Every structure is written in C-alpha cells, then in structure tokens.
Structure 1
C-alpha cells in the first residue's frame, strides 16, 4: 500500500513538473500597449522611448541618460481603468520615496514587484543616489502572469511621475493600453454557459 501511494505521488509530481511550465503560460488575455506620452526635464535627463506593436505583442524600450547624480527621488504611480470614453477611474494612486523603495525590501510590495519585473529587461537604477550615466529598458513586454486572471476587458492608463522634492519634475509619462481577452491563449468566452 505504501509503495503504491509513493509511486502515485511520484507520478503526480512528475506530471506537475512536466506540465506546469506549459500551463503557467496560459492566460485568458493579452496586455496591449497602445500609446505612450512622456515629458522629461532635459537639464537632468535625456530620454528616448520606443513602443513597438507586432503580431499582437507590445514591446517597450527606453534609453535613459542621467546628466547629473540624483538624490532623494520621489515616485508617483497612478493606474486607472476607462469607465467612459476618455475618462479613467483611478484604481491605484501612490506617492513614495523611490530611494526608500530601493533600500528597503518590504516597502510597497506592489510597486516593488513591478520594478523588479522591469529590471529583468534592462539596466535600471539599483541604488540611490542615482548616478549620472546611461540606463535602459529593452523590449519589455508586460508579464500577464503577474496580473490577476479576473481582469476585465478594458482600456487602462498607467501614469508615472519621477521628481525631486525641491527641484521639481524629472520625468512624467503616461502609458495607455488595453486588456484584450480575444488575444489570449484560451478565450474565456468559449466557456460561457449561454
């Protein structure tokens, strides 16, 4: 009995190990970035942004050149879903000390997860003060697996502002996009009971 139970458990573990990477990639939606607006303080930073949409996939690349060391950086993040044409209802609105986020692993877990995902695709800031130099984000694609599976099909806005408390704005950007359930691997509409 014990041997049979062990064999059965090993079979289930093997099945999970083999098929988990495949099933982990199944998402019922795609995140498509449609537009990005940005403004940079050209005395502090030089910024180039490129958004590519090919074959239903959005890829974002950013080249950043800081012209001076930047201390005491403040980050404002704003996420909203479109409720009426052109009107967005804010879901998340946070202002935090970016340097504190980099130093303390437990500060603002949501923004930290997003930033750690961005770091996988480039050479971004890892410490404060942010030293003058060149940084980049290359072919970043939103990892849908990080998002809750119950997201509605909707248009969204992701706003971000980076500033120095005493000197003002460094970078301000807004990314527009949509959550498209027709582009996912397994369209949930097939499973409706009607």
Structure 2
C-alpha cells in the first residue's frame, strides 16, 4: 500500500495491515468543502507480466457521492462497508479532525463476480479542480495492491 499526501490539508498519515485487515489514521487540518473529487482506477495484472490493464475507472465528485448516499452503486456498497470500520464522514463538508479505519475487511458478497482471481491494483487520486488543467490541485494519492483468490 502506498499513500502520498500532496496537500498541507492532510497530515500524519499512517497505515498498516494486521491479520489481513486494513488500518489507517490521518489528520485533516482544514475543512474540505465541496469540490473534492476522486479518480478511482481498478486494474488487473496481465498474466506473466508486470503490466496492469484497467478494468474500470470513475471520476467522481466525492461530496455528491456522499450526499446521494442511498442511491445504489458498487462504490456506495464498498463505502457503506468501510463506514462500519471507521469514523469517516457520511456527508460534506468533511470537517477538520482525526480520522481512522480499524480492522477493515471486505464484506462477503461485495466483490462483483467479474473480478476473477488474480493480482489487482487500486489507485485513488483525490484532488480539487479538473485533472489535466491548470486548476488541478492534488490532495492525496493512494495505491494498494490486492490479490483475489
């Protein structure tokens, strides 16, 4: 797992794996108002290669996703499960403060059947503005490697 903080708004990021569960801590130093976006890309490693191929990607408005929380989607199913193990916000704005994830594990039945056994890379880039423009302001970059058996 790799996390890069690209903004002074997020500090003291730590993360660790313990008995197959994910744990993380971070300090948000300023209230994060509307406009925070996430680019999420799930990739599968090609057989006998070090290269990955994208399966799907989302460019989402995080506040819109949180505020429309009850509309069904794969991301909402995953986030709803994540909330059981954390004190992450359920809506915007995201207030300054200490946030954590403790002993997170995927809930049974939340992996779509098209995700075959294999090695995966999940990338999540958080930012303000628009990617590939002068208004782009990166916030954090998260990459994790997963194996599905």
Scaled to the shorter chain, the TM-score interval is 0.7 to 0.9
CA contact (8 A) 1:81 1:91 kept: yes
Match of 2:105 among 116, 130, 141: 141
- C-alpha distance after superposition, 1:52-73 (max 9, x if no partner): 2x3xxx1111112101011221
- C-alpha distance after superposition, 1:74-119 (max 9, x if no partner): 0111001111422111111110100001111365712111111110
TM-score by length of 2: 0.86
Give the whole-Å Cα distance in 2 for the aligned partners of 1:154 and 1:129: 37
> Comparing both structures, which one devotes a greater share of its residues to helix?
1
Moved runs in structure 1, 4+ residues, more than 4 A? none
2:143 matched residue in structure 1: 174
RMSD, aligned α-carbons = 1.8
CA contact (8 A) 2:7 2:140 kept: no
Alpha-carbon distance change, 177 to 139 in structure 1, aligned in 2, over 3 angstroms: same
Rg larger in structure: 1
* Structure 1 residue 149, shift from structure 2 partner: 4.5
Aligned pairs (5 A) from 1:90-169: 90-105=54-69, 109-149=73-113, 151-165=115-129, 166=135, 168-169=137-138
TM-score by length of 1: 0.67
Contiguous gaps of at least 5 residues in structure 1: 1-35, 181-194
